[in-house]
């Protein structure tokens, strides 16, 4: 069916259209974008006072299927992503069984086709079983449709293995997504090492644990000329290392999560395990560095690291609780509130970091509203305030630190391949 979104403020930096206009979509594609359209335009959607942006793309999420369907499924996770304005998500390999072979990659594509609300792009493991020693079937997974390779929450500590993986990845022109934490330096730490870890009596993880691995892997990437992407960057030191590497021409990209640029380790003073994440929430100085990195382009993307856990798992003693928090449904609201409302980013920059740049990093379509592109479109109200209530969370898990927090900017409607999938709390 033809849909024409009329009178909205179109924010499409990748496509080159910025300003009030109309957008026509039909047969799953963007047909035309212009200041004003007239004629047989199909169903009309009044977007006056709203923004029209490309569908968001998440580079880093966990759907838990196969293996932990009690935490999340492809169906529940993609439904939550849709409500948050995402039209495509990349899901990590730490499933059970691990996505270290083409069979699991095929399974995820099948589940997404049968039950998914948005497009799902599987990420294959770098090493077998995420053990960091023997390369997984990278070539076969690439052929099956893996968009990148990552051992996700496990750092590849064996430098020789990472070098070989980087060299091999260049054959497929796919990036390696890196989690950076030197395990011996991290030790038994459960939060950022600093003032608050001392006050709270909790073992800390120094920023050095991330910085050391970031420095090593930038050198490996520079040597192998491979594409590497740094997941959930959290420290001032890593931001500066990545900035310097980019100036040397290293093929490096990076992401920051909404929780890392909006929360600090001070949040943990109540010992609430919802704030336990990996890498840990850092200091105010680190948060400032992340915002500066987002502003100057050192950090290319904003990703959720959506990590669902059951109530029984998460509501334990802080040191025993698993790491991670959900993020699909709050990512745009948190980013708009923390970055755009405060002047750190323009709306155009935010759209680049949540849509166009992620599409470029994994070399997939999307991120633009140019004619001929997939009709993945979001209608967004940048002025609407809202409060996240637990009862409204669509994700199967509810471990969000933003419950009860007032945010600005809300999703009004989402089209995926030209089909209206979500509109004001209703799902198609």
Of 211, 305, 381, 417, the catalytic one is: 305
Last residue of a domain, one of 340, 361, 382: 361
368 located within any domain: no
Q: Which of 55, 1, 2, 5 is nearest to 34 (CA)?
A: 5
Mark whether 23 and 60 lie in a shared domain.
no
The number of domains in the chain is 2
218 located within any domain: yes
Determine the Cα–Cα distance for residues 209 and 207; give it in Å rounded to an integer: 5
Last residue of a domain, one of 329, 361, 393: 361
The band of 296, judged by pLDDT with boundaries at 50, 70 and 90, is: very high
CB 99 within 8 A of CB 65: no
369 located within any domain: no
Percentage above 70 pLDDT, the chain: 100
**Mean local confidence (pLDDT), 342-351:** 98
413 three-state secondary structure: strand
pLDDT (0 to 100) of residue 210: 98
Question: Exposure of 406 by Cβ count < 10 A (0-12 exposed, 13-18 middle, 19+ buried)?
Answer: exposed
pLDDT (0 to 100) of residue 41: 75
Q: What is the pTM of this model?
A: 0.97
Mark whether 83 and 188 lie in a shared domain.
yes
Mark whether 316 and 390 lie in a shared domain.
no
pLDDT over 90 at 79, yes or no: yes
pLDDT over 80 at 425, yes or no: no
Of all helices (H) and strands (E), which one includes residue 410? strand 406-416
Mark whether 342 and 197 lie in a shared domain.
yes
CB 396 within 8 A of CB 308: yes
Mark whether 285 and 326 lie in a shared domain.
yes
Domain span including residue 396: 3-52+374-427
Mark whether 409 and 357 lie in a shared domain.
no
Q: Check if 300 is active-site.
A: no
User: Higher pLDDT residue, 41 or 19?
Assistant: 19
125 three-state secondary structure: coil
Mark whether 43 and 22 lie in a shared domain.
yes
């Amino acid at each position: 069916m033809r849909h024409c979104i009329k009178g909205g403020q179109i924010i499409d930096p990748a496509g080159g259209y910025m300003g009030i206009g109309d957008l026509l979509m039909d047969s799953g594609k963007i047909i035309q974008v212009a200041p004003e359209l007239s004629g047989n335009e199909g169903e009309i959607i009044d977007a006056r006072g709203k923004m029209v942006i490309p569908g968001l793309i998440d580079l880093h999420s966990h759907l838990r299927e196969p293996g932990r369907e009690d935490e999340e499924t492809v169906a529940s996770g993609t439904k939550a992503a849709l409500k948050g304005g995402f039209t495509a998500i990349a899901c990590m390999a730490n499933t059970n069984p691990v996505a270290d072979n083409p069979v699991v990659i095929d399974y995820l594509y099948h589940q997404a086709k049968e039950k998914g609300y948005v497009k799902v792009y599987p990420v294959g493991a770098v090493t077998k079983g995420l053990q960091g020693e023997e390369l997984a079937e990278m070539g076969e997974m690439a052929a099956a449709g893996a968009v990148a390779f990552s051992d996700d929450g496990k750092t590849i500590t064996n430098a020789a293995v990472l070098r070989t993986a980087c060299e091999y990845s260049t054959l497929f022109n796919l990036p390696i997504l890196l989690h950076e934490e030197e395990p011996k330096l991290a030790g038994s730490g459960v939060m950022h090492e600093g003032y608050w870890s001392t006050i709270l009596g909790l073992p800390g993880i120094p920023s050095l644990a991330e910085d050391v691995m970031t420095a090593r892997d930038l050198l490996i990437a520079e040597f192998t000329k491979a594409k590497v992407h740094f997941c959930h960057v959290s420290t001032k030191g890593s931001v500066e290392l990545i900035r310097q590497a980019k100036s040397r021409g290293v093929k490096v990209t990076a992401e920051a999560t909404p929780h890392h640029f909006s929360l600090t380790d001070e949040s943990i003073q109540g010992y609430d395990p919802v704030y336990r994440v990996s890498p840990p929430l850092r200091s105010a100085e680190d948060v400032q560095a992340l915002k500066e990195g987002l502003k100057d382009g050192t950090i290319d993307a904003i990703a959720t690291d959506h990590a669902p856990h059951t109530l029984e798992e998460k509501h334990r003693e802080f040191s025993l609780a698993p790491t991670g928090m959900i993020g699909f449904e709050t990512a745009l609201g948190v980013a708009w509130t923390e970055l755009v409302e405060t002047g750190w980013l323009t709306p155009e920059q935010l759209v680049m970091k949540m849509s166009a740049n992620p599409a470029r990093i994994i070399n997939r379509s999307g991120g633009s509203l140019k004619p001929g592109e997939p009709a993945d479109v979001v209608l967004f109200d940048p002025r609407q305030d809202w409060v996240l209530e637990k009862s409204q969370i669509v994700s199967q898990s509810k471990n969000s630190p933003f419950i009860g927090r007032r945010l600005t900017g809300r999703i009004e409607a989402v089209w995926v391949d030209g089909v209206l999938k979500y509109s004001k709390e209703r799902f198609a």
